[in-house]
């Protein structure tokens, strides 16, 4: 594939400090030592519905990653792109590729459709409605149970080294407090959280993005 932009072209990440999907990509950028600027879009004020942002991202979601003419609107595509460009946290062959990719689907099934919803309701909707949390909790708990059993005999999720699978799942699990979980119930997962956080370049994502002091997205 030859239509890569020059990787020296500045990268801008437009996202939200509290958004888990933004965290995934911001951590990948930071931990591959890829320079980027961060621009904040305030979802709670509806700035993603502005005409300017809609042109960049008609789906009204965050984050969006821009490098030259390339506009990426899906975090899995961003992670794959950055792995390919930096040669880090990716896969060496097809068997590795699908071992890693399985965790993207896992994260959709149990975290996007479980843990992340419970956390969102608690953090941004005042903890209500309870019936929605009840709806998502079984999936969250099943996901935690599956990942705990897996990590009981694996240091890392997909391969013998940290990969994109970690960038997909770690930012999800690390918000366990807001999802009404106690990480002490999941000792292998707790140890894996610590291992990932000990890697060079890791920072607590909200604090890291605040430090980057992103300009606010100006609507209109």
Residues found near other proteins in the complex (CB under 8 A): 1-4, 58-61, 69-74, 76-77, 81, 94-95, 98, 101-102, 104-106, 108-109, 112-113, 129, 131-132, 135, 146
| For other proteins, the closer CB: 55 or 184 | 55
Q: Which of 119, 89, 146 is nearest to 21 (CA)?
A: 119
Report the nearest approach of other proteins to the CB of residue 139 (Å): 11
Report the nearest approach of other proteins to the CB of residue 108 (Å): 6
Contacts of 146 (CB under 8 A, 6+ apart): 106, 110
Residue 130 phi, psi (nearest 5): -60, -40
Report the nearest approach of other proteins to the CB of residue 126 (Å): 16
| For other proteins, the closer CB: 73 or 195 | 73
Report the nearest approach of other proteins to the CB of residue 218 (Å): 23
| For other proteins, the closer CB: 77 or 207 | 77
| For other proteins, the closer CB: 99 or 190 | 99
Q: How far apart are CA 132 and CA 172, in angstroms?
A: 18
For residue 178 the two structure tokens come to 């807001």
Give the residues across from 39 on adjacent strands: 14, 215
Q: How far apart are CA 89 and CA 83, in angstroms?
A: 6
């Amino acid at each position: 594939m030859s239509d890569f932009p020059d990787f020296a072209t500045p990268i801008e990440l437009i996202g939200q400090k509290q958004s888990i999907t933004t965290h995934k990509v911001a951590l990948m950028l930071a931990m591959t030592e890829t320079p980027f600027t961060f621009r904040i879009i305030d979802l709670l004020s509806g700035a993603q519905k502005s005409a300017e942002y809609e042109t960049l991202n008609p789906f009204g979601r965050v984050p969006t990653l821009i490098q030259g003419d390339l506009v990426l609107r899906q975090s899995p595509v961003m992670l794959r792109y950055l792995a390919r460009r930096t040669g880090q946290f990716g896969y060496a062959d097809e068997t590795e590729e699908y071992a890693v990719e399985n965790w993207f689907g896992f994260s959709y099934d149990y975290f996007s459709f479980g843990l992340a919803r419970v956390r969102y309701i608690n953090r941004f909707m005042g903890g209500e409605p309870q019936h929605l949390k009840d709806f998502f909790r079984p999936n969250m708990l099943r996901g935690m149970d599956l990942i705990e059993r897996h990590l009981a005999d694996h240091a890392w999720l997909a391969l013998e080294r940290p990969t994109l699978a970690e960038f997909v799942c770690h930012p999800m699990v690390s918000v366990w407090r807001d999802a009404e979980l106690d990480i002490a119930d999941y000792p292998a997962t707790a140890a894996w959280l610590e291992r990932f956080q000990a890697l060079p370049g890791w920072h607590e994502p909200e604090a890291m993005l605040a430090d980057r002091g992103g300009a606010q997205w100006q609507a209109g």
